[in-house]
Structure 1
Amino acid sequence: MVKEDMIFKVAWYYYMEGMTQQQISELLDISRMKVVSFLEQARQEGMVQFKVRSEQGNRIKLEKMIIEKYGLEDAYIVPTSPDNINKSIAKAAAQYINEKLKEDDFINIGYGETISYTLHYLLSYLEKKVSFISLAGGVSVYANALIGSSQQRNSFNPADIYLIPSPLILSTPELAETFCKEKSVKNIMDMTQSSDYTIIGIGALNRDATIYKEGHISDSDLRVLERKGAIGDILSQFYDKDGNILDVELHKRLISVKLDTLKEKKNVIGIAGGPGKLPSMHAALISGIVDILITDEESAQALLDQY
């Protein structure tokens, strides 16, 4: 057998048949060192060419461009789902976060539908012991996701969930201020300062917003916020097209960690996608709050093309 044929055989068995170097050595009756040498020659002579699947390569390029455009630490972009985009992005977020987590990490959790989906999926993957801390009141959104998932996983310890024991919004600023001084509330808010990761959703100013669907704000509230220049929200705190947090009375009635505080934290993961959220996503990304973006391919491309 001529040398070129031998090199081709070694490359074929290794890359196409999935055989180990030892198996090829025994099959062709040559040393392992010779197998290694032939594989290197196959690459150098162009017998073996590595190609990344184009669609995956495009997403990696998009991630790099999004990171550079917004000065992010990281981005994770997945194919756009034709069905439920929130669930698709949430599943991707859960996979990403699960890979990053270490034993005994603390994770701050935001407010909204996408975050609930993310927690549900994350707890189905989770093998490490971690703790979750809520960034805002309104425990039912978190509890339904966390308790439902923990019941599926006997190893999950409900004691590792720390939820602020209050509504999301109170009737007056004075009442909210009093609640925030309560020891049970203050202790959990203090815990959020030492977390390893923070997971937040990015909301749009429309009737699909969780804060609207749950009845916390009305149509007239939406109109008032729109006149004030609101374009989106994080943790039910609204900001304008330039990412500036608005000075509105609603914010004073919230039981929530403030967005200015999040700007000082590392590993803040923003999860959002869809054409209706593009303006709010762009504003959130230029605000300096988000360090890591998880979104879908079409949304990422639109952010690059339209802003």
Structure 2
Amino acid sequence: MDAGQEKKRLLVKVSTLYYMDGLNQQEIAARLGISRPQISRMLAAAKSEGIVQINIRNPYSEEQAYERAIAETFGIHDVIVVHVENADRQVIDLHVARAASALLESAIKDREVVGIMAGRAIAAVGSEIHFIGRKDVQFVPMIGGFGSDGGAWHANSNARVFAERLKARHLLLNAPAVVASPTARDFFLGEAEIADVLNAARKVTLALVGIGQVSEQATIVRSGYFSDVDLADVRKKGAVSNICTSFLNENGERISYDAERRMIGLTIDEIRAIPNVVAVASGPEKVEAIVAALRGKCMDVLVTDMDTAQQILEWHRTHPYPS
């Protein structure tokens, strides 16, 4: 047997020990008297020469095609697309929430400070997340409260739910999201306790946000704190998307609006500065808003469903940026 055949025989042996018998590289090195780096090089050579061929049974290939397409189109880190065949909106939203919770369970590290937004989508994620045993994790609301009607899903409540589920700590932002006047806003921001929470929110390393459409169904409008006059004002200025206290036009650009001087919470510029922003949004009514947020680089990861993913790409294709 020539040297080439002997080399091939050894590559087959090493590959069998690693892939079939389950030995790690150090154990193979000890057994064969070969250095661990050399074992690593041999495994790489076995793949490049076709001795090892890895086949992955992938039941999620269609979803992953849309994940790649959205990530590459908009230049974000990752996309998670959930597909539930023949399901109604409620079931789809549940599966989207579960996908986002699984992502967070992997993403949250020891001593992580996590920013939490208001909204039903965020509340649903909190209801699905499981205890993961991370140390010294803290959740921080990123916007003020929306009053009693939004009690179950405003940012304080959402932060509390996440903290309870993960046995972590949380802060409370004891201020409304929208106040009566700029003077009132200045008064609230002058309170050390409120200012400290907002400063903590600006320093989070991971944030979970929703994306709101600009309509009567938006969280900020349904709360009653954002009037019809305020809604008409932002619409007139081209707003199609709402994240925290900011509104975006269809190109993802932040717009200035009158009520902004009465808002208490993080702006989209402050959210963009957070190292890892996960957005959870789905549904046909939110497609335009999601595209605007993607164009505006407002997130690092998007969690959505298959139908919404398809519509995102189609809306972006049929509504190009102005020349």
| Structure-1-length-normalised TM-score | 0.77
Equivalence map 1:264-283=2 (5 Å):
264-283=273-292
Q: What displacement does 1:144 show?
A: 3.7
Moved more, 187-196 or 218-227: 218-227
1:286 aligns with 2:292: no
1:133 aligns with 2:144: no
1:89 aligns with 2:96: yes
Asked whether the equivalents of residues 163 and 188 of structure 1 are also in contact (C-alpha less than 8 Å), the reply is yes
Equivalence map 1:27-176=2 (5 Å):
50=55, 52-53=57-58, 55-80=59-84, 81-84=87-90, 85-122=92-129, 124-129=130-135, 130-138=137-145, 140=151, 141-147=154-160, 156-157=167-168, 160-176=169-185
Q: What displacement does 1:230 show?
A: 1.2
Equivalence map 1:122-271=2 (5 Å):
122=129, 124-129=130-135, 130-138=137-145, 140=151, 141-147=154-160, 156-157=167-168, 160-271=169-280
User: In the superposition, relative to structure 1, how do residues 50 and 303 fare at CA in structure 2: closer, same or farther (>3 Å)?
Assistant: same
Structure 2 distance, partners of 1:238, 1:192, is: 19
Aligned to 2:319: none
Q: Secondary structure at the match of 2:89?
A: coil
What letter is aligned with 2:167?
F
Q: What displacement does 1:145 show?
A: 4.1
Q: Secondary structure at the match of 2:303?
A: strand
Larger RCO (CA under 8 A, 6+ residues apart) = 1
Structure 2 distance, partners of 1:189, 1:79, is: 36
Asked whether the equivalents of residues 230 and 259 of structure 2 are also in contact (C-alpha less than 8 Å), the reply is no
Asked whether the equivalents of residues 117 and 145 of structure 1 are also in contact (C-alpha less than 8 Å), the reply is no
What letter is aligned with 1:225?
V
User: In the superposition, relative to structure 1, how do residues 149 and 101 fare at CA in structure 2: closer, same or farther (>3 Å)?
Assistant: closer
Asked whether the equivalents of residues 87 and 114 of structure 1 are also in contact (C-alpha less than 8 Å), the reply is no
Asked whether the equivalents of residues 131 and 167 of structure 2 are also in contact (C-alpha less than 8 Å), the reply is no
Q: What displacement does 1:234 show?
A: 0.3
Asked whether the equivalents of residues 120 and 145 of structure 1 are also in contact (C-alpha less than 8 Å), the reply is no
What letter is aligned with 2:237?
K
What letter is aligned with 1:97?
L
| Structure-2-length-normalised TM-score | 0.74
What letter is aligned with 2:120?
E
Asked whether the equivalents of residues 120 and 146 of structure 1 are also in contact (C-alpha less than 8 Å), the reply is no
Q: CA RMSD in A?
A: 2.9
State the identity %: 23
Query: Could you list the per-position Cα deviations for residues 115-165 of structure 1 after superposition, in whole angstroms to 9, with x for gaps in the alignment?
Result: 11122222x3433231101111117424444545666x5x714xx111211
List alignment gaps of at least 5 residues for structure 2: 1-15, 23-30, 33-45, 317-323
Asked whether the equivalents of residues 136 and 168 of structure 1 are also in contact (C-alpha less than 8 Å), the reply is yes
- Count residues with an aligned counterpart: 268
List alignment gaps of at least 5 residues for structure 1: 1-13, 15-19, 23-31, 34-39
